[in-house]
Structure 1
Amino acid sequence: MPQTRDHFAYELRDLHGASRSIVYLTLAGSPYLTAVSILTSQVSAVGLLSSVFMGLTGLVCWWRPGRIPRPFWFAAPLIATATISVLNIASHDASSGALLFYLWPVLYAANFLSTRVLSLNLTMAFAGAGLTVFPILGLRVGLADWTAMVLAMSMAAAVVHTLRRRADKLRDVLERQAHADHLTGLANRRYFDEALADAGAWARSTGGELALLTVDLDHFKAINDTFGHAEGDRVLRAVATAMGTAVGKDGVAARLGGDEFVVLLRAGRRTAPGVAEGLCAAVAARTDLPGGPPSLSIGVAVLPGDAGDVDGLVAASDAALYEAKTSGRGRVAVAGPGPDLGLMASSAPAPRP
């Protein structure tokens, strides 16, 4: 069954959104910093260099976000918070306008990063605001302003973070529905095609092995004709359950359509036939199906032994399935050199009316 993504402690939810957020900040902040320096007659080499650096950072985030090291996206709000604190302290500015600059890094962390990173960013913002307002405004007035800032930032972060979590959950549900076969709960063809492409890239980069099992129910039309489509669906779900048991979490089990299933494993010739045999045994153990458990014909192929790429792997597995069916059904046929496992214990005669 397709797995939803996990929420890691240091996740980055949306690279595109995060990069655009930084682009908008830096490309707006760069001319703002330059204009403020000129208007206040405080033009300096450091200020101009900072403005240029901000502009270049925004352009890189816009054009080449994928080339930026991943830690940058987590460090960006923390750097922004520290920079705001330093500038406010240096300029002795404890106004509400100065404290509002903390809003960008807080909202960025709430929208794109995890709860842990958001908490760290809020802590830095609260500390920076405290170091600014208390020395300038004193304890009594400073405490009121600081408390108002803490409440406003906390509420804004909580609302944005909660809405983002709800959006993530809804997206997970939609992804699961889009990638799952509605009848069996296994992965569907779309998910399998994506998983096969990813596995092929993994095999090319690591030199690892892939095994593909193409599974077909023998005489499935006879089951539908004899017992009805409702019972036929029950048989399909039983086979899907057996596939989940045999494959576990190390592979992808999918229903391509009708009575055709596939299993994709990151395994070689020593492991794949055993998985096929375990699948047949799991189906044969079912005692609650009309006419007894169906027999399975399974074709097994391995990359790189039987094919040079994933397209060849699919073709080799299909050819092995054809061999299993034409040689008597109820068999596991292995492409290329390998044992023909012959008639399996799951074999059963076609149902009779």
Structure 2
Amino acid sequence: MHYQLRDEAGASRSVAYLLMGAGPFMLVTGVILPDHPTPGSVAVFVLLTFLFLGAGALCRWRPERVPHLAWLFAPFFGIAVITGLNLATHDASTGAQLFYLWPVLYAANFLSRAVNYLTITLVSAGNAAVVFSILGATVGLSDWASLTVAMMLTAVVVASLRGRNERLREVLETQAYADPLTGVANRRSFDGELARAVESAHRTGEPIALMTLDIDHFKKINDTWGHGVGDQALRLVADALRRVASGRDDVVGRLGGDEFVVLMRTDRMGARRAADDVRAAVAEVATLPGGPPGLSIGIAVLPDHAGTAVELGAASDAALYEAKEGGRGRTAIAHPPGARHNVDQVPSVTVTGA
């Protein structure tokens, strides 16, 4: 059975509130309301009250101490408790059966579809055990069928609403982390990916390359052919970068204007080949009125040229600057720094033609 927990914090609060609410409820119904409670029943209900309150407090304020699988078994535990108490108190009333709503709502909100199906099945079986044994087959059948259908419809509605919310969240996340024109990562998203990649590279010892590039004379393209053609050029370059940076962990981003960045899990030679492949892909473009745009590219590699994300970005930017100063349409690769630089210093670079 596939187990997937969504929103562990929400699940822990849901279980906590159920348990902390069930404790006082059991005290009232099992100790205060009965006309002639026996000492044994009083002791049992008082013990259960404190157990439920303690477990609820643990789930609410110390959820990290609760085993992860507890959130999976929570609806099944709820079904068992509800069924057992209804049988013990000989209560087949509608109010008593409505407590089955909690495991149904919990599974529909936080667990996978398979667990949701199993929860509905067990709720139906538990309700059947109560109503058939207390009300008899004729009356019990009607109550059992009504509750089962109601629980199924509830689960369907809640699961549908959850799916809609998840799709909306995905759209919002895409809008928050993707560049709206090209669809690649925006600066905020790329900075996060770069920081995580550098941290991973320090752990594994594997190199990562940062390629920074912009379109040569992009302002002239806009001024000559219009911003529509300029936007088309940006999209074509982004598409070419995505085709070249096709590794599972490669990331393409747009920092703004005509400046792009590419993060690749490769070494210096792999990055140099990727730069050549990008040029080749852009050179194939035949849909722009002014022909394919030229590219200036700067490359830096960690750990060859930098030790942190900030240093890697500075080294790649410096290489791009030197490529543009050298005549544009070139690729520049940063030199390994001979010594630790001050904040105002940047590594020297090696410039090669396109």
TM range (shorter): 0.7 to 0.9
Residue 350 (structure 1) aligns with: none
Q: Does 1 or 2 have the higher relative contact order (CA < 8 Å, sep 6+)?
A: 1
Count the aligned residue pairs: 335
- State the secondary structure of the residue aligned to 1:101: helix
Alignment of 1:103-118 (within 5 A): 103-118=101-116
1:141/1:206 CA distance change after superposition, 3 Å: farther
Residue 30 (structure 1) aligns with: 23
Residue 238 (structure 1) aligns with: 236
1:116/1:267 CA distance change after superposition, 3 Å: farther
1:185 aligns with 2:164: no
Structure 2 letter corresponding to 1:271: G
The alignment yields a C-alpha RMSD, in angstroms, of 2.5
Larger radius of gyration, structure 1 or 2?
A: 2
Give the CA deviation at 1:258. Answer: 0.2
User: Which one of the candidate residues 11, 14, 20 is aligned to 2:4?
Assistant: 11
Structure 2 letter corresponding to 1:23: A
Structure 2 letter corresponding to 1:324: A
Structure 1 letter corresponding to 2:15: I
Give the CA deviation at 1:198. Answer: 3.3
Distance in 2 (CA, whole Å) between partners of 1:285 and 1:96 is 72
Distance in 2 (CA, whole Å) between partners of 1:241 and 1:53 is 60
Distance in 2 (CA, whole Å) between partners of 1:315 and 1:227 is 33
1:199 aligns with 2:197: yes
Alignment of 1:262-281 (within 5 A): 262-281=261-280
User: Which one of the candidate residues 140, 144, 147 is aligned to 2:142?
Assistant: 144
Normalization by structure 2: what TM-score? 0.85
Residue 4 (structure 1) aligns with: none
Q: CA-to-partner distance for each residue in 1:250-272, whole Å, 9 max, x for gaps?
A: 22211110000111223343533
- State the secondary structure of the residue aligned to 1:92: coil
1:85 aligns with 2:83: yes
Residue 327 (structure 1) aligns with: 326
**Fraction of identical pairs, as percent:** 52
Structure 2 letter corresponding to 1:36: T
Alignment of 1:285-300 (within 5 A): 285-300=284-299
Give the CA deviation at 1:340. Answer: 5.2
1:193/1:72 CA distance change after superposition, 3 Å: farther
Give the CA deviation at 1:30. Answer: 2.2
Q: CA-to-partner distance for each residue in 1:52-90, whole Å, 9 max, x for gaps?
A: 343233333333445544333222222212222233334
Give the CA deviation at 1:154. Answer: 0.9
Q: Which moved more, 1:322-331 or 1:200-209?
A: 200-209
- State the secondary structure of the residue aligned to 1:299: strand
Q: Which runs of 5+ in 2 are unaligned?
A: 338-348
Give the CA deviation at 1:208. Answer: 4.4
Distance in 2 (CA, whole Å) between partners of 1:206 and 1:70 is 29
Structure 1 moving runs of 4+ over 6 Å: none
